[in-house]
Amino acid sequence: MLTIAVSKGRIYEDALPLLEEAGITPIDDPKKSRKLILRTSRDDVQLVIIRATDVPTFVEYGAADMGIAGKDVLLEHGAENLYEPLDLGIAACRLMTATPVDAAELSGRIRVATKYVKTAQRYFADIGVQAEIIKLYGSMELAPLVGLADCIVDLVDTGNTLKANGLEARELITHITSRLVVNKAAMKMKHQAIQSLLDQFEITLAKR
Ligand code: ATP
Ligand code: PRP
Ligand code: MG
């Protein structure tokens, strides 16, 4: 059995066509079903539905053989205990800093609200800015509006969320897409099954 970890929402939606092309059609719909293990049209493949940030953990420990995770999540978690063989190009966005539209140039020691604590720490250290990082689990855009932080580090796609909250993107930290990650032991033990799936994904991606 090959177990693939995916998160509900945009990654699942974007991954579905790739899985379908590889002959993997989930039998239940995670939007309707409360099941966390989804059998598929292939007897030898199942999906586990987990939070996006938990995908590296499941794959690292071998609870899933492979998974699909955003590069943002992988940067924050650390991916040294995983293989990351394929950029799937899905769920594309940018990790950026953002501030209120009318904010002055940031200087001195700044406060930064984000759920990407390690990535933000690394980024501000690299550019030589002293930053106090405040960990949040969501609604980062609110932080500068209520005086919790000077700046946020968050994902930006259309920019609508920033705009709706009177913020604007400043610096690009990195471009983000979702990656296929594979458990290191599984890559050896289930090599043939995993490699043939990788090949199939690559064929599908090459046609895009
Ligand atoms: P949860 O909803 O469980 O708290 P989450 O917000 O991380 O988790 P998603 O919003 O589905 O879950 O995000 C999953 C991944 O999709 C992110 O890790 C990122 O790589 C990518 N992503 C997030 N927001 C966007 C966006 N607005 N546009 C494109 N890709 C995005
Ligand atoms: C994500 C991200 C931003 C927003 C950016 O939130 O955290 O807030 O998308 O996208 P935009 O630039 O197109 O507005 P999401 O929609 O995943 O909501 P969440 O807070 O539930 O994660
Ligand atoms: Mg989200």
pLDDT in tens, 24-56: 999 999 899 999 999 999 999 999 999 999 999
Q: Are residues 184 and 158 in the same domain?
A: no
Q: Are residues 111 and 130 in the same domain?
A: yes
Phi, psi of 193 (to 5 degrees): -65, -45
Kindly give the pairing relationship between strand 2-6 and strand 37-39: unpaired
Q: Mean pLDDT, to the nearest integer, of 162-181?
A: 98
Q: Which residues pair with 37 in a beta bridge?
A: 48
Pick from 7, 156, 172 the residue to mutate for probing ligand 2's pocket: most ligand atoms within 8 Å of its CB: 156
Question: d(Cα 113, Cα 118) in Å, to the nearest integer?
Answer: 12
Q: 160 Cβ partners below 8 Å, 6+ apart?
A: none
The domain spanning residue 80 has which CATH number?
3.40.190.10
Q: Are residues 170 and 132 in the same domain?
A: yes
Q: Are residues 164 and 184 in the same domain?
A: no
Q: What is the CA radius of gyration of the chain?
A: 19
Domain that holds residue 134: 93-174
167 CB neighbour count, 10 Å cutoff = 25
Q: Are residues 73 and 110 in the same domain?
A: no
Q: Are residues 106 and 50 in the same domain?
A: no
Q: State whether the beta carbon of 91 lies less than 6 angstroms from ligand 2.
A: no
pLDDT top residue among 208 and 143: 143
Residue 127's pLDDT band (cuts 50, 70, 90):
very high
CA-proximal residue: ligand 2, atom 8 (nearest):
161
Sign of the CA dihedral running 150, 152, 158, 163: negative
Listing from the earlier edge strand, what are the strands of the sheet with 167-176?
131-135, 110-114, 151-156, 93-100, 167-176
Q: How many domains in the chain?
A: 2
User: Which ligand sits nearest to residue 155's alpha carbon?
Assistant: 2
pLDDT at 105 over 90: no
State whether residue 84 is helix, strand or coil.
Answer: strand
User: What is the Å distance from ligand 2's center to 73 Cα?
Assistant: 14
pLDDT at 107 over 90: no
pLDDT at 106 over 90: no
CA-proximal residue: ligand 2, atom 21 (nearest):
138
Q: Are residues 52 and 130 in the same domain?
A: no
pLDDT at 56: 98
Helix (H) or strand (E) holding 20, with range, is: helix 10-21
